[in-house]
Amino acid sequence: MSLIVQKYGGSSVANAELIKNVAKRVIEGYEAGNQMIVVVSAMGDTTDHLIELMGDITDDPDPREVDMLLTTGEQVSIALLTMAIHSLGYPAISLTGSQMKIKTNEKHNQAMITDIDTTRLKRELSENKIVIVAGFQGVNENQDFTTLGRGGSDTTTVAVAAAIKADRCEIYSDVDGVYTADPRLVKNASKLDYISYEEMLELANLGANVLHPRAVELANNYNLKLYIASSFNKTKGTIVRGDEKMEGKKNVVGVASDLGEIKITVERVPDEPGIAGKMFRSLADFGVNVDMIIQNLQRDELNDITFTINQEQEKLAVKVLEKIKRELRFNNYSIDRDVAKISIVGAGMQSTPGVAARMFTSLGENSINIGMITTSEIKISCLIKKEDANNAINVLHQEFKLDEINN
């Protein structure tokens, strides 16, 4: 008998038929003799519908009330999934974030889980019930409902699995595993059998939409193996786990392209100590997340500072730059929206010389110009033109033979 925590995403419970399908899958696990805890998201577009309703009322909603509104989404799906399990003749009970005592800090809309009191969860399990848990939501000390923000349901799942010391943690959605590249962009992309937390984290940060980075980090902290697979079929998925000692660690396990960034160049900033620091501090203070940064060679004691941000933060960034212009003594900045970030990820690259060179060379040979470069121990990213993104990702996928990766 294992204790299994499963998560089903919004598209997996988007309508009554799909909910019944999930019920059957959960029951299979229960029938096999396991204790089952199931975390569910809000049905399909429920959250969008609630946000639309809210938009008709106000442009500037109070975060506490947003959480009051949005937490109803998962509450509906846990009730319906529980009913579906009952109707197949199995015992089940639904629990909201507050009933599950998923305690969070006060930060509405992006709360952090501080603790999970598993008393009730254990009691329900001991009565042989399948426990259906609302993802994405918790409760603060004031008994107010909170939501965990992006990747919330994944985070709930991993946190519950860690708190209850689950034997298995399975994340089901409409994506059937982790691929070497987006299969819509690269025809012969391969599904990975295994991936390490670090690699998954990089890919998740690069927009691989299978698992939120927060959940990956949490799993890494608790060394909790995750199984990523589809709720729509029984195809084998991908296991996310700690690096195991083995020969032949892969250089590169994935290629990703991110078309959601823009590049801002702040021109002719005085070359004085602390100026760049001030600029990025101001951006951070206003919540602008900066990704890549380069500072060009100086001319006349003046620097060009270039950085990328998510395109959704363009207006905010401009506001900040206008605010600090005078203090930092620069006049101009330019915005380039025609950029794509192309990255390769692999835990093995840190011990394999020449990976970067292979990347740059193969892009160059295919006439793809590189604008900016950043590297981490297990990732190399290049900024290129948007129109080159599709070509670049295929070139790199082939260069690193990712279609053969599981062999």
Strand partners, 32: none
Residue 326 annotated in ligand binding: no
CB of 233 to a second copy, least distance (A): 22
Q: Taking a C-beta distance cutoff of 8 angstroms, is the pair 4, 29 a contact?
A: yes
Polymer length of the chain: 407
214 is in an annotated binding site: no
Instruction: Say if residues 372 and 263 touch (Cβ distance below 8 Å).
Output: yes
At closest approach, how far in Å is the CB of 77 from a second copy? 10
Taking CA atoms, 327 is separated from 8, 148, 282, 288, 296, in Å, by 50, 37, 11, 19, 21
Q: Are 122 and 105 in contact (CB under 8 A)?
A: no
Helices 389-399/355-365 angle, 10° precision: 130
Dihedral angle of Cα 110, 115, 117, 118, to the nearest 10 degrees: 90
Pick the closer one to a second copy by CB: 83 or 318.
Answer: 83
Least distance to a second copy, CB of residue 46, Å:
10
Between residues 47 and 196, which has the closer beta carbon with respect to a second copy? 47
Return the number of the residue (91 or 348) whose C-beta is nearest a second copy.
91
Closest to 238 (Cα-Cα) out of 249, 229, 250 = 229
Pairing of strands 3-8, 35-40: parallel
Best CA proximity match to 134, nearest among 166, 102, 158 = 102
Residue 74, marked binder: yes
The alpha carbons of the chain give a radius of gyration, in whole angstroms, of 23
Q: Which is nearer to a second copy, 129 or 358 (CB)?
A: 129
Q: What are phi and psi of 54, to 5 degrees?
A: -60, -40
179 is in an annotated binding site: yes
Min CB(82)–a second copy separation in Å? 5
Q: Which is nearer to a second copy, 16 or 284 (by Cβ)?
A: 16
* 9 has binding-site annotation: yes
Would the annotation count 235 as a binding residue? no
Q: How far is CA 178 from the centre of its chain?
A: 12
Binding residues (CB under 8 A) for a second copy: these are 15-16, 19-20, 50, 53-54, 56-62, 64-66, 68-69, 71-72, 75-76, 78-80, 82-84, 86-87, 93-94, 96, 98-99, 120, 143-144
Report the candidate in 200, 180, 192 with the shortest Cα–Cα distance to residue 347: 200
Q: Which is nearer to a second copy, 119 or 367 (CB)?
A: 119
As a whole number of angstroms, the distance between CA 282 and CA 276 comes to 10
Task: Rank residues 89 and 274 by Cβ distance to a second copy and give the closer one.
Answer: 89
Known binder of ligand: residue 47?
yes
| Minimum distance, C-beta of residue 38 to a second copy, in the bound complex (Å) | 14
Answer for the pair 228, 206: CB distance below 8 angstroms, yes or no. Answer: no
Any known ligand binding at 249?
no
Q: Considering the complex, what minimum distance in angstroms separates the CB of residue 16 from a second copy?
A: 3
Rounded least distance, CB 28 to a second copy, Å: 18
Please answer whether residues 175 and 183 qualify as being in contact, where contact means their C-beta atoms are separated by less than 8 angstroms: no
Residues near 90 by beta carbon (within 8 Å), at least 6 away in sequence: 27, 30, 130
Q: Which is nearer to a second copy, 62 or 106 (CB)?
A: 62
CB contact at 8 A, 184 and 137? no
**Nearest distance from residue 159's CB to a second copy, in Å?**
20
| Binding annotation | 7-10, 47, 74, 179, 184
Annotated binding site for ATP: 7-10, 179, 184
Annotated binding site for substrate: 47, 74
